[in-house]
Copies of this chain bind each other. A is one copy, B any other.
Amino acid sequence: MSELDLEEMYAVAISVAREAGQIIRDAFDKEKEVDTKQSAADLVTESDQAVEKMVNSRILGKFPNHRFIGEETTAVSGEKHQLTDEPTWIIDPIDGTTNFVNSIQEVSFSLGIMVNKKAVIGVVYAPIKDEMFTARLGKGAYLNGKKLKASKITDLKQAVIITEGGSSRDIKVVEDKVKNIHTLITHTRGIRSYGSAAINLCHVAAGRGQGYIEYGIHIWDFIAGALIASEAGAVVLDPTGCDLDPLRRRILCACSAEVAKGLSQILTHLDMGSD
């Protein structure tokens, strides 16, 4: 893949993110038709589907040989994903659908591009706040064009960690997540929850908090944000401390290797299957 091809893909990524943002913004204050997926807390709206359809057609119109993984397409087909070496556009049309439905501002469009199974471009656009987070592999991370730098904190006791209750209502999963919340409150300066994995990763990239841990999310929730965070100097791993497996449905992100190690050691690691 040439530098020129990547430039073109990056430009298209930004352009569809802006277009997606406009759709989200237009629908944000209106009444929404809501449907549920895996649980009563796992929601989908017409806007999720409209954004995904638009992005899919824009990308395949421009790059007919590229692959596409979208949250809502997957929810309908239920298929497992096989990452290939082909350029693959991975999108979450609205990350933070519960926020979107409940008029909470942390909603985002997330788009990651993988080539040879490696993330090379990440774009997360939070349209209500007009925050465009972008990263290209090896070229740093930016918020509305301004370079991002993760926090320098190394002491877990001084860290604020983002985590989520999540949408699963499986009794054991909720129990384990609550146990981790308890552990985090005890060992850190506190926890925060914003309801969007993509935005959570961008927060760590922007130095707004020192870490983020979540089990049960999907590749489309985190692949763009993970590149943005790591390009801002954060550490992105599997929660056990191994390399991140993008299909493994869990992520640990921390501003420093020390905070990452501390988190990995104190948490109960949930196995949520793979995408």
- Interfacial residues, chain A to chain B (CB-CB below 8 A): 40-41, 43, 98-99, 102-105, 151, 153, 157-160, 164-167, 169, 174-175, 177-178, 181-182, 184-186, 189-195, 203, 207-210
| Residue of A43, A151, A175, A208 most packed against chain B (CB within 10 A) | A208
Nearest-Cβ distance from residue A21 to partner chain B, whole angstroms: 18
- In the bound complex, residues from chain B placing their C-beta under 8 Å from that of A191 are 165, 193
Is the CB–CB distance between A185 and B178 below 8 Å? yes
- In the bound complex, residues from chain B placing their C-beta under 8 Å from that of A157 are 40
Known contacts A102-B160, A174-B182, A190 near B210 by CB under 8 Å = no
Give 25 A-B contacts (CB < 8 Å), ordered by A residue. A40-B157, A40-B189, A41-B190, A43-B189, A98-B160, A98-B189, A98-B190, A99-B160, A102-B159, A102-B189, A103-B207, A103-B208, A103-B209, A104-B160, A164-B190, A165-B181, A165-B191, A174-B185, A174-B186, A177-B185, A178-B182, A178-B185, A181-B181, A191-B193, A192-B193
> In the assembly, what is the distance between CA of A159 and CA of B104, in Å?
11
Known contacts A185-B174, A190-B41, A102 near B151 by CB under 8 Å = yes
Nearest-Cβ distance from residue A65 to partner chain B, whole angstroms: 39
- In the bound complex, residues from chain B placing their C-beta under 8 Å from that of A177 are 185
Is the CB–CB distance between A190 and B167 below 8 Å? yes
Is the CB–CB distance between B209 and A104 below 8 Å? yes
- A167: nearest chain-B partner, CB-CB: B190
- Cβ contact of A192, chosen from B159, B166, B190, B194, cutoff 8 A: B194
Is the CB–CB distance between B165 and A208 below 8 Å? no
- A185: nearest chain-B partner, CB-CB: B165
- In the bound complex, residues from chain B placing their C-beta under 8 Å from that of A165 are 181, 184-185, 190-191
Nearest-Cβ distance from residue A41 to partner chain B, whole angstroms: 5
Nearest-Cβ distance from residue A48 to partner chain B, whole angstroms: 16
> In the assembly, what is the distance between CA of A175 and CA of B40, in Å?
27
> In the assembly, what is the distance between CA of A164 and CA of B191, in Å?
8
- A42: nearest chain-B partner, CB-CB: B189
- In the bound complex, residues from chain B placing their C-beta under 8 Å from that of A192 are 104, 193-195
A-B contact sample (8 more), CB < 8 A, given A98-B190, A103-B209, A165-B184: A43-B189, A98-B189, A103-B151, A165-B190, A165-B191, A169-B186, A174-B186, A181-B181
